[in-house]
Copies of this chain bind each other. A is one copy, B any other.
Amino acid sequence: MLYRGGMRTPNAQQIEQITVQLGTYGKIEGKNVFYWFQNHKARERQKQKRNSLGLSHSPRSPPGTTMTTITLETRGQVEREEDIPCKKKCRSWTFEGLEEEKRFCKEEGDKTLELFPLHPEGR
């Protein structure tokens, strides 16, 4: 209900509240509520994405395309590296150059991370 009402990422407070409410029906923990929301948002997006991507061209069986082998679509382990529209790509991350890459370093010692070039791909 709350989800439908627009709640997508409840904060700790809200989660706790919800958890208590649900608690009247059985054992439940905050993490469950947390996961529930996480998963729902994710899957909503996922489904939407998947659906949209299929509206580009022929719905099924690409013309002449060797749609080969990969028929097991269902969440089954097989990953093909090509054609994935927006695959994550790494940063520049080289820890190798840490001898001098530190020039961005702020006063705080342990930043090891955010001192690397920003870059591509926003979700």
Interface residue ranges, A against B (CB under 8 Å): 1, 3-4, 9, 11-13, 15-16, 19-34, 36, 40, 43-44, 47-51, 53-54, 59-61, 65, 67-70, 72, 75-76, 78, 80, 83-86, 90-91, 93-96, 98, 101, 109-110, 112-113, 118, 120
Chain A at the B interface: mostly helix, strand, loop or mixed? loop
Are A1 and B80 in contact (CB-based, < 8 A)? yes
- A26–B73 Cα distance when bound, in Å, is 11
- A26–B61 Cα distance when bound, in Å, is 11
Apart from the given pairs A1-B83, A34-B112, A48-B85, 11 other A-B contacts in the complex at a CB distance below 8 Å: A1-B70, A11-B109, A11-B110, A20-B61, A25-B70, A26-B101, A29-B90, A30-B93, A31-B47, A34-B95, A44-B85
Q: Which residues of B contact A36 (CB under 8 A)?
A: 78
Distance in Å: Cβ of A100 to nearest Cβ of chain B: 10
Q: Which residues of B contact A11 (CB under 8 A)?
A: 109-110, 112
Distance in Å: Cβ of A97 to nearest Cβ of chain B: 10
Are B53 and A16 in contact (CB-based, < 8 A)? yes
Are A95 and B21 in contact (CB-based, < 8 A)? no
